[in-house]
Structure 1
Amino acid sequence: MMNNKINLLVAGIAIFLLAGCDSHSSQQLIMEGKTMGTVWRVTVAGVDNTRKAALQQAIQQRLDADDAELSTWKPDSVLSRFNQTRSTAPQPVSDNMADIVTQALRIGAKTAGAMDITVGPLVNLWGFGPDKQPVHTPDKAQIEAAKAQTGLQHLHVIQGVNGQWLQKDLPDLYVDLSTMGEGFATDHLARLMEQQGINNYLVSVGGAVLSRGRNANNQPWRVAIQKPTDRESAVQARVELQGHGISTSGSYRNYYELDGKRISHVIDPASGRPIVHKLVSATVIAPTALEADGWDTGLMVLGTEKAQSLVLKHHLAAYLISKQGDKFVSWMSPQFAAFVIKPD
């Protein structure tokens, strides 16, 4: 038996397993591995240990297939081939690719372009893509040149009776799905669990998490939002997902120093520069991990005040943490409050 503890921390979300079985129990299996430059973890309840090896293999195969489609780091991925071509003719893509781009365009429109999957040239310019980190801060001309190659209006999903196509009307348009890839893969793992006849599970890829059913103690799955510090055990809030997906975007871990300044990995498509506002963490709960993963990025780009307005307008379940002086101040929407576990 073990006491309540944090078993995993991914991008600001800590996964809790309540008192009960350990990882070798026949009632609760824990599997984990690596994908998309991050880690995945699957916990299932009520599944015999004899299935663990086969499940682990099926999970890794599914994630490897997703990575082969969505990666910008692999030159032979489906997405990389689309980015490499200068053709503006429609390119055939899988239903998976069409689905994630369609969702990204939808959220991008609702955030007035703050969540922009065509921001790849700027991501690369600032050293957060496959390209190396810059030696010096990019100048205005470099930023404007990269911005000229971006814009959601230049990317289109075409649906037909014989398949789906992706089309760009800028030859150099570069699509980066890393902002939503983790959520997409997490939803894929959930579907895999259902296909395997497993109804009680907690799955995560990077900072995206989704649960169904209950854990081995017949308790709801719980996750915790980490405080924006380097102490992995510092918990800001705990939630019960109730069959939803959750994702956190934060500016306090993925950064580097350049010319004496801290450079955040969150790029504002409007300015072409890393964000400099006081919002340090945005967590969203949504029906799917893909939706949560898209919304949290858009909110992070917007900053505290604009993010709060957008959350209230669209009735999102969101939790924001901002830095005010030496303190961190949190804010949650009424929809998010419904998921929060009240202190004992």
Structure 2
Amino acid sequence: MGTTYSVKVVAPSDRFDAKALQQQIDERLVEINQEMSTYIADSELSRFNQSQAGDWFPVSAELAEVVALAKKISEDSDGAFDVTVGPMVNLWNFGPDHHPEKVPTDAAIAAALANIGDDKLEVRLDPPALKKSVDGLYVDLSAIAKGYGVDKIAELVAAAGVDAYMVEIGGEVRAAGRKPDVSPWRIAIEKPIPGTRAIQQILELSDESLATSGDYRNFFEVDGQTFSHTIDPKTGRPLAHTLASVSVLHDDCAAADALATTLMVLGPDRGYNWAEEHKLAVLLLIRGEDGPVVRRTSLWPQSGE
């Protein structure tokens, strides 16, 4: 997934084999990567991306499950979340195909847009398979696979008999139970400030997931203009609004991961209204006209620092 992970568990040391669990976690992450990574040339997803249009392409049940969830969120958001945006992510230098940072031409953007659209991707759960209607369709699950990985590792840890744990992959988090001192897990949400690390809020997390999406870490500048890694599937261009960061609380980390990106694309007003309509617990951090960040929340817990 091109990122790091962290797993913390609360378990009695005399009856718990940490090394065995570590090996199981590593093996499970390798499996998920082999299914969903665009950084691995022979992963299931990479092989589907390289395939031609027309026929059903057999995949694992897990890959089909993630694509089905992605398509559901795409439908609910009128295409704001779209995993077929992969060609545009690559065109803007944010995918696995690294090349010098530069702004694509209008013609290149138009050409890439012709291969983008959730309606060009089909998923079947039984037997699990994917199908594309255009050869150039390229699926990128980077906005949902990390959260899915968190869910799967959390399930693995729980199956090992651990009731209290914190699982984090690339900043997406799921926590259960409490720490040995009976206090909840405390997760920091960052201020959306490029080039520095500062805490916006500390959130107490127990038996739920937290995902954050923002424009302040992965970006590049050309001639004084900043281009962030989140691409609007409708325009084929990086986001240009004032919403700097979105955090989502949800039972399911895969959904939280995808919903955070969805709200980033929708922006400060449409995103807030959509979150209210779908009864989501969200924290929006919006850049004010005079510089300070403005908080906007929906069903967000009031506790925390």
TM-score normalised over the length of structure 2: 0.95
| Superposed displacement of residue 228, structure 1 | 1.2
Local SS of the residue matching 1:127? coil
The residue correspondences of 1:120-269 to structure 2 (distance < 5 A) are 120-134=86-100, 136-160=102-126, 163-229=127-193, 230-232=195-197, 234-269=198-233
The answer for the alignment partner of 2:59 in structure 1 is 93
Q: In structure 1, what is the Cα distance between the partners aligned to 2:173 and 2:102?
A: 36
Kindly provide the CA deviation profile for residues 262-282 of structure 1, in whole angstroms up to 9, marking residues without a partner as x: 110010111100111110000
The answer for the alignment partner of 1:66 in structure 2 is 32
Counterpart of 2:11 (choices 37, 41, 46) is 46
Deviates more, 1:55-64 or 1:145-154: 55-64
Contact 2:101–2:220 under 8 Å retained in 1: no
Structure 2 stretches lacking a partner, 5+ long? none
Report the RMSD for the aligned CA atoms in angstroms.
1.4
Identity of aligned residues (%): 40
The answer for the alignment partner of 1:21 in structure 2 is none
Kindly provide the CA deviation profile for residues 64-102 of structure 1, in whole angstroms up to 9, marking residues without a partner as x: 111111111111101000000113201111111011111
Contact 1:136–1:259 under 8 Å retained in 2: no
Could you tell me which amino acid in structure 2 is paired with residue 330 of structure 1?
R
Contact 1:126–1:133 under 8 Å retained in 2: no
Local SS of the residue matching 1:172? coil
Q: Do the aligned partners of residues 122 and 342 (structure 1) sit closer, same or farther apart at CA in structure 2, a change above 3 Å counting?
A: closer
The answer for the alignment partner of 1:329 in structure 2 is 294
Local SS of the residue matching 2:145? helix
1:79 aligns with 2:79: no
The answer for the alignment partner of 2:249 in structure 1 is 285
Q: In structure 1, what is the Cα distance between the partners aligned to 2:220 and 2:80?
A: 22
Local SS of the residue matching 2:83? coil
Structure 1's consecutive aligned runs of 4 or more residues displaced over 3 angstroms after TM superposition are 133-136
Structure 1 stretches lacking a partner, 5+ long? 1-35
Deviates more, 1:129-138 or 1:109-118: 129-138
Kindly provide the CA deviation profile for residues 95-129 of structure 1, in whole angstroms up to 9, marking residues without a partner as x: 11011111111111111111110000100000001
TM-score normalised over the length of structure 1: 0.85
| Superposed displacement of residue 46, structure 1 | 2.2
The answer for the alignment partner of 2:70 in structure 1 is 104
| Superposed displacement of residue 134, structure 1 | 4.6
> How many aligned residue pairs are there?
302
